[in-house]
Structure 1
Amino acid sequence: MNGDASSPAPGSNAREFDVVVFGVTGFVGELTARYLAEHAPTGTRVALAGRSETKLAATRKRLPARAHDWPLIVADSSSPASLDAMVARTRVICTTVGPYLRYGEALVVAAASAGTDYVDLTGEAPFVHFSINKAHETAVATGARIVHSCGFDSVPSDLGVYLLYNKIADDKAGELTDTTFVVKSFKGGISGGTFDSVRVIAEQSRDAETRRLLLNPHSLSGEPGNTPRVSMSSEPSDMTMISAKKVDPSMRGTLAPFFMAASNTRIVRRTDALLNNPYGKDFRYAETMSVGQVPGVSTLIAGVVAVGTGVFLGAMSFGPTRKLLDRLLPKPGEGPSVKVREKGSFVTETYTTTTTGRRYRSQMRMKGDPGYKATAIMLGESALTLALERDRLSSLTGVLTPAAAMGDVLANRLRAAGATLDAVELT
């Protein structure tokens, strides 16, 4: 999206850069830098960062001509001093360096300490939990916005519920109750970085405390050092199969579990907590995906998905099978061709019934491979939102979520970038 006349001028504060893209030599990092080169407003100050100056220079050469004079910054996740120096130079640090549990902890602390806004692509709930405990209070004190999960995980989920809430509030139709996110279509691949994050989470799940965190539906809803203690039954299971009719009378078949529910649902619940629980005291949230509308067939497929997801996660936590899967799955830094990325797309819908009995649905749809092209757009626009539109954002600071930090401003930028986002009452 290009800026408009009312956006704050790029370069309007004392920082040297508006956005630094860290991890630009990786596949999604390069896609994000390319998106900024093609769509950031004229005058936006961007720098490219990574471990190797040689690789950074090679990446820069592949970008559009506009990026060829962007400065290069050498920084390494294992060198806190280099991270401190990097974040001190920019308004926003945009990082694709994952798995974040392995490589992200020092950077999020550095950004919070420097008062630098931060966006990432993490789908790792334990990493967000670390960030809350170690960086939230510092970020509040310095005025930093630390915004996790700004790609396909978890922007469609988070904005989907947020848009529903806004529409229902405008209609004075009560509060949200049972709310279900449905991936209606998904054409594209899952990034190697996502699989690498699953590897790390699977390894860490051997630890009893990490398992408790992963199983707690409200593990990200609390303040630093105060994780809510709730039972798994307080929210729908992340591995649930749901009759589509129970979600909305217009739907048919059985809905399968969505493989990123364990991360996305917790981001959505944190948004509700950060905004002082406006979604309602009876708000409960689940994520699913459509596998067809024929009752018997969709039930069978949904069952296979549920079992297959469980088997996959188990295999990833077991050394010998993980080594076999590592040979087959995409590697971090790898990705599909331009043609494949362009052919991708997704459609997500979120349904709820309010306390007054009225039914609503929000929708988000985008062209482009969800894990690559669409994610690069969402991450790039998130970085630009924080860098260029601070005056339009809420006063919230600390460890935030996409909807809590950027809400309507991000939604509008994504619409201008070609996404469809809306919320309607169903009759």
Structure 2
Amino acid sequence: MPEEQREFDIVLFGATGFVGKLTAQYLASVCEGGPARIALAGRSVDKLRAVRDALPASAAEWPLIAADSSSPATLDELAKRTRVVVTTVGPYTKYGLPLVAACAAAGTDYADLTGETMFIRDSIDTYHKQAVDTGARIVHSCGFDSIPSDLTVYALYKRATEDGTGELGETNLVLRTFAGGVSGGTLASMLEVMQTASTDPEARRQMNDPYTLTTDRAAEPELGHQSDTPWRRGRDIAPELDGIWTGAFAMGAPNARIVRRSSALLDHAYGRTFRYSENMSVGSSFAAPVAAAVSTAVNAAVLGLGSRYFDKLPRTLIERVLPKPGTGPSEATRDKGHYRVETYTSTSRGARYRTTMAQQGDPGYKATSVLLGECGLALAFDDDVLSDLRGVLTPAAAMGDALLARFPAAGITLETERLN
């Protein structure tokens, strides 16, 4: 369908959920007085109206669309009416593929917040070719998972290319500071990942493969064992981290697979010896080595034993003690949150670089809503700097340059420096 026939620039699906409301607020704040044609979508028009009524006056006329993941026809109609769909409706393994199908068929761009590796793999296997044919960009993992990972590595690649210092080699992200919680939606997604892995040995095998999301598994280099979340001293990552210890970062595994898919989509532009892992700083105190070891061991146990035996655990009890999807912290708590990541690399010609990315706001809620909102705006309005790629993509491969340009105005800092 030609763009001039599309009724909307962006439809936000799941606008009545917690992160959906925050994303609606962000879009309303940055699009005030602008030309963006935005609509809100969800199961209940009454609940959508309540969300709209709480937004700035600039959103007062935003149309409301009734659509339900259990009704593919409503999703098909939604996708045909807009240039971009932004969705917060998860867990995506349960609810996501019908909307991906609708967008792939309609040639509609799409952005979500998933960290569910096998959902992304299913999306690739089922809809990548169709999306290429229709011109759709299906972009997964557009929040705190996995924008900081994906875009800091992309920025390193850009800088090394500009400097002519060769390809990326050993590359490591370190989460230096973090304040905030994990959203109920994220935890629900993690439960779905564990459930899938515990009941499907093939899915478990694929989740353990560092190149699960690649474009062509046979084309990937054999670099030996690649730990997504190793336990190590900071100085083993970079001299600048001497004195600190690092342990496992819980989302390191899904983030790393997004980063590796970006490299593959960009024709292995990061390099044939590119290796990537993620860690979390636990400080420099006397107890730091123990904390690093414990965090890594717990992460390994959850991913290893949990992926095998999760289906044996009482699911209702687990769900009872975890935050519910659609819930979240107070505005004051969200505002106090923040994160800073530092990603280090050494290139094939001996250059060393660091990219630092930081954002104010609870990573799982406020920061994520900003990142998702900017991805939707980039897909809708930055066609002149978007990648020519189509299909099931990653943030860096689809809109790396557009996001780097957008970050400053959105309050997101991202700086790359050479270290030698």
TM tier relative to shorter chain: over 0.9
Is the partner of 1:380 in helix, strand or coil? helix
State the AA in 2 paired with 1:26: G
State the AA in 2 paired with 1:368: G
Residue by residue over 1:246-272, the C-alpha shift from the partner in whole angstroms, topping out at 9 and shown as x without a partner, is 110121232111100111000000000
TM-score, normalisation: structure 1 = 0.93
Once residues 392 and 345 of structure 2 are traced to their aligned partners in structure 1, the CA distance between those partners, rounded to angstroms, is 27
Is the partner of 2:414 in helix, strand or coil? strand
Is the partner of 2:401 in helix, strand or coil? helix
Is the partner of 1:234 in helix, strand or coil? coil
Equivalent of residue 246 in structure 2, options 219, 236, 255: 255
- Whether the 8 Å contact between 1:217 and 1:230 is mirrored in structure 2 is no
Kindly indicate whether residue 281 of structure 2 is the aligned counterpart of residue 284 of structure 1.
no
Give structure 2 stretches of 5+ with no counterpart. Answer: none
State the AA in 2 paired with 1:96: T
Q: 1:274 Cα shift?
A: 0.4
Count of residues in Structure 1 that have an aligned counterpart in Structure 2:
413
Residue by residue over 1:318-339, the C-alpha shift from the partner in whole angstroms, topping out at 9 and shown as x without a partner, is 5445443322221100011000
- What is residue 385 of structure 2 aligned with on the other side? 392
Is the partner of 1:422 in helix, strand or coil? strand
Question: Taking structure 1 as reference, are residues 300 and 147 closer, same or farther at Cα in structure 2, changes over 3 Å only?
Answer: same
- What is residue 399 of structure 2 aligned with on the other side? 406
State the AA in 2 paired with 1:234: G
State the AA in 1 paired with 2:371: M
Equivalent of residue 298 in structure 1, options 288, 310, 314: 288
Once residues 349 and 320 of structure 1 are traced to their aligned partners in structure 2, the CA distance between those partners, rounded to angstroms, is 37
Equivalent of residue 132 in structure 2, options 127, 140, 154: 140
Kindly indicate whether residue 211 of structure 2 is the aligned counterpart of residue 221 of structure 1.
no
- Whether the 8 Å contact between 1:20 and 1:49 is mirrored in structure 2 is yes
- Whether the 8 Å contact between 2:229 and 2:277 is mirrored in structure 1 is no
- What is residue 74 of structure 1 aligned with on the other side? 66
Is the partner of 2:240 in helix, strand or coil? coil
State the AA in 2 paired with 1:240: P
Equivalent of residue 33 in structure 1, options 24, 45, 51: 24
- What is residue 164 of structure 1 aligned with on the other side? 156
Same amino acid, percent of matched pairs: 50
Equivalent of residue 326 in structure 2, options 333, 345, 351: 333
Question: Taking structure 1 as reference, are residues 257 and 277 closer, same or farther at Cα in structure 2, changes over 3 Å only?
Answer: same
State the AA in 2 paired with 1:259: A
TM-score, normalisation: structure 2 = 0.94
State the AA in 2 paired with 1:197: S
Equivalent of residue 178 in structure 1, options 165, 170, 175: 170
Equivalent of residue 16 in structure 1, options 3, 7, 12: 7
Equivalent of residue 236 in structure 1, options 226, 236, 241: 226
Is the partner of 1:146 in helix, strand or coil? strand
- What is residue 202 of structure 2 aligned with on the other side? 209
- Whether the 8 Å contact between 1:77 and 1:104 is mirrored in structure 2 is yes
Is the partner of 2:407 in helix, strand or coil? helix
Q: 1:30 Cα shift?
A: 0.7
Equivalent of residue 155 in structure 1, options 147, 151, 167: 147
- Whether the 8 Å contact between 2:343 and 2:356 is mirrored in structure 1 is yes
Give structure 1 stretches of 5+ with no counterpart. Answer: 1-10
- What is residue 189 of structure 2 aligned with on the other side? 197
State the AA in 2 paired with 1:377: V
Once residues 29 and 319 of structure 1 are traced to their aligned partners in structure 2, the CA distance between those partners, rounded to angstroms, is 32
State the AA in 2 paired with 1:186: F
Once residues 122 and 306 of structure 2 are traced to their aligned partners in structure 1, the CA distance between those partners, rounded to angstroms, is 25
Describe how 1:45-124 pairs up with structure 2 within 5 A.
45-124=37-116
- Whether the 8 Å contact between 1:25 and 1:59 is mirrored in structure 2 is yes
State the AA in 2 paired with 1:141: D
- Whether the 8 Å contact between 2:3 and 2:83 is mirrored in structure 1 is no
Once residues 395 and 140 of structure 2 are traced to their aligned partners in structure 1, the CA distance between those partners, rounded to angstroms, is 7
- Whether the 8 Å contact between 2:345 and 2:353 is mirrored in structure 1 is yes
State the AA in 2 paired with 1:152: F
- Whether the 8 Å contact between 2:177 and 2:341 is mirrored in structure 1 is yes
Once residues 362 and 65 of structure 1 are traced to their aligned partners in structure 2, the CA distance between those partners, rounded to angstroms, is 38
Q: 1:211 Cα shift?
A: 0.3
Question: Taking structure 1 as reference, are residues 79 and 352 closer, same or farther at Cα in structure 2, changes over 3 Å only?
Answer: same
State the AA in 2 paired with 1:165: Y
Equivalent of residue 345 in structure 1, options 338, 343, 346: 338
Q: 1:229 Cα shift?
A: 9.1
Once residues 232 and 215 of structure 1 are traced to their aligned partners in structure 2, the CA distance between those partners, rounded to angstroms, is 15
RMSD: 1.8
Q: 1:235 Cα shift?
A: 4.8
Once residues 122 and 401 of structure 2 are traced to their aligned partners in structure 1, the CA distance between those partners, rounded to angstroms, is 27
State the AA in 2 paired with 1:349: E
- Whether the 8 Å contact between 2:221 and 2:273 is mirrored in structure 1 is no
Kindly report structure 1 stretches of 4+ aligned residues shifted beyond 6 Å.
Answer: 229-233
Is the partner of 2:210 in helix, strand or coil? coil
Moved more, 245-254 or 369-378: 245-254
Once residues 208 and 109 of structure 2 are traced to their aligned partners in structure 1, the CA distance between those partners, rounded to angstroms, is 29
State the AA in 2 paired with 1:307: A
State the AA in 1 paired with 2:61: D
Once residues 163 and 306 of structure 2 are traced to their aligned partners in structure 1, the CA distance between those partners, rounded to angstroms, is 47
Moved more, 82-91 or 388-397: 388-397
Once residues 359 and 244 of structure 2 are traced to their aligned partners in structure 1, the CA distance between those partners, rounded to angstroms, is 25
- Whether the 8 Å contact between 2:223 and 2:273 is mirrored in structure 1 is no
- What is residue 419 of structure 2 aligned with on the other side? 426
Question: Taking structure 1 as reference, are residues 231 and 213 closer, same or farther at Cα in structure 2, changes over 3 Å only?
Answer: farther
- Whether the 8 Å contact between 1:75 and 1:86 is mirrored in structure 2 is yes
- Whether the 8 Å contact between 2:9 and 2:38 is mirrored in structure 1 is yes
Residue by residue over 1:50-86, the C-alpha shift from the partner in whole angstroms, topping out at 9 and shown as x without a partner, is 0111211122112222212110100110111110000
